Structure 1
Amino acid sequence: MLAVNRPTFLDEPPVSDKLTDYDRAHFKLYMRLLHAEADGSNWEEAVAILFGIDPSAEPERALRIHDAHLARARWTSEHFYREMVRQSHH
């Protein structure tokens, strides 16, 4: 199988009450996670495709990475627009 160019990622995104550089760099990944969830995709399939992690080889890490990034994706989707509007007025 060909490797897909993926941005590097942390096991858990940085926690902040503001958008981070990490959030901006991984915005497309966040949106893909949200779309996968909305489509009812299996988390194992999503983590394998989006992060390149084999959930059968690293089940705990794969789930932790998926859940942490999905939670941040949800937060980002709620706060991104407001943050961008605020930044555009400065």
Structure 2
Amino acid sequence: MRVPVELDPDVDDEAPTGDTITVYDKRHYVTYLRLLDAKAEGADWKEVAQTVLHRDPVADEFRTRRCWQSHLQRAQWLSREGYRKILEQAVANKL
């Protein structure tokens, strides 16, 4: 089953955890890339949360920061380890 990647989707309060690639992950690849780019550029987390995650750090700073941290951690996992699973799934789907 192919899952469409969305360019600017809304996000859950927390990103998935664990060592499997989820449907949520597949839909949020662009979100994860944007978070990694922002981190590399040293962007302010509040601005990133508002722009990328559609969260308001002024209205609920704790919840927004937790959301940002969760998604950034997932993005970092995907870039370090999870990408291997993406490749394995792609190969398996070709067989």
TM-score by length of 1: 0.86
Q: Cα offset for 1:7?
A: 1.3
Q: 1:57 offset after TM fit, Å?
A: 1.0
Percent identical among aligned pairs is 37
CA contact (8 A) 1:23 1:76 kept: no
Name the aligned partner's letter for residue 52 of structure 2: L
Which of 46, 51, 76 does residue 78 from structure 2 map onto?
76
Poorly superposed stretches of 4+, deviation over 3 Å: none
Tell me the residue number matched to 2:23. 21
Give the counterpart letter for 2:26 in structure 1. R
SS of 1:9's equivalent in the other structure is coil
Trace 1:1-90 onto structure 2 (pairs within 5 A).
6-90=8-92
1:9 deviates by 1.5
Q: By how many angstroms is 1:53 displaced?
A: 1.5
Cα drift, residue 78 of structure 1: 1.7
Runs of 5+ consecutive residues of structure 2 not aligned to the other structure: 1-6
- Per-residue CA deviations over 1:8-35 (Å, capped at 9, x if unaligned) read 3211112121111111100100000000
TM-score when normalising by structure 2: 0.81
> How large is the RMSD of aligned CA atoms in angstroms?
1.5
